[in-house]
């Protein structure tokens, strides 16, 4: 992919979101590199698990199954890349408490199908969009080789955002139009409100 096309994709992602990541979060990232990479590895595993969970639960939708299978494979490959870099840097993988971010968004999904599936896909698109936006910002503030990792992940993360959003619209575009504004509004609240612990999807540090 050309650099110009990648820039256009990242710009489309940032315009999709309701707010940018606060500058204070990016300022804190270099001093929390171990937490950033460990939690990022956890996020990639959870993203693969999310795709697999949807794949098992919605076997009736052939095109969705194909999308989810590809997404799960790519998320696991991203986990491997992050873990490899952690090993190179001498960062030990350990258990961390989860950020409130993804769980708080998924809790907003409708309780019943098919609305629940559409909401879940939209939430997944929002999470991927935020990850893409943070990847782009981290490239500017982190040293090599970590910046190179995030530079290399940008295109696929932008693609994942679009894959989830397109899947949701293919099922029920009217539902997407209803749920997207208030999900983005809640996401902005989570991103802008301070957090006591630094994580990949946390708000700015207190």
Domain map (residue ranges) of the chain: 3-17+33-192
Token duo for residue 79: 């986990």
Model confidence over 90-130: pLDDT tens digits? 999 999 998 999 999 999 999 999 999 999 999 999 999 99
Would the pLDDT of 78 be above 90? yes
The CATH number of 3-17+33-192 is 1.20.1260.10
In three-state form (DSSP H/G/I as H, E/B as E, the rest C), the secondary structure along 82-129 is: HHHHHHHHCCCCCCCCCCCHHHHHHCCCCCCCCHHHHHHHHHHHHHHH
State the residue for tokens 């460990």. 38
Mean of the pLDDT values across residues 56-64? Answer: 94
Would the pLDDT of 4 be above 90? no
Rounded Cα–Cα distance for residues 203 and 206 (Å)? 9
Confirm whether pTM is higher than 0.85.
Answer: yes
Residue count (the chain): 206
Model confidence over 135-178: pLDDT tens digits? 999 999 999 999 999 999 999 999 999 999 999 999 999 999 99
pLDDT at 1: 58
The residues, any chain, with a CB within 8 Å of residue 1's CB and separated by 6 or more, are: 155
């Amino acid at each position: 992919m050309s650099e110009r096309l990648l820039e256009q994709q990242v710009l489309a992602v940032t315009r999709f979101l309701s707010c940018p990541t606060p500058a204070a979060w990016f300022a804190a990232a270099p001093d929390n590199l171990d937490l950033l990479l460990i939690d990022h590895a956890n996020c990639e595993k959870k993203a693969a698990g999310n795709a697999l969970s949807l794949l098992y639960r919605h076997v009736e939708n052939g095109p969705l199954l194909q999308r989810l299978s590809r997404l799960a494979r790519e998320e696991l490959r991203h986990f491997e890349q992050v873990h490899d870099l952690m090993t190179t840097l001498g960062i030990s993988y350990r258990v961390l408490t989860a950020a409130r971010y993804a769980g708080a968004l998924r809790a907003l999904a409708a309780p019943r199908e098919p609305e629940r599936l559409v909401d879940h896909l939209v939430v997944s698109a929002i999470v991927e969009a935020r990850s893409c936006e943070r990847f782009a910002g981290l490239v500017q503030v982190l040293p090599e080789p970590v910046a190179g990792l995030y530079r290399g992940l940008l295109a696929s993360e932008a693609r994942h955002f679009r894959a989830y959003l397109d899947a949701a619209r293919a099922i029920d575009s009217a539902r997407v139009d209803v749920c997207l504004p208030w999900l983005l509004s809640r996401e902005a609240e989570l991103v802008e409100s301070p957090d006591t612990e630094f994580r990949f999807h946390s708000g700015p540090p207190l």
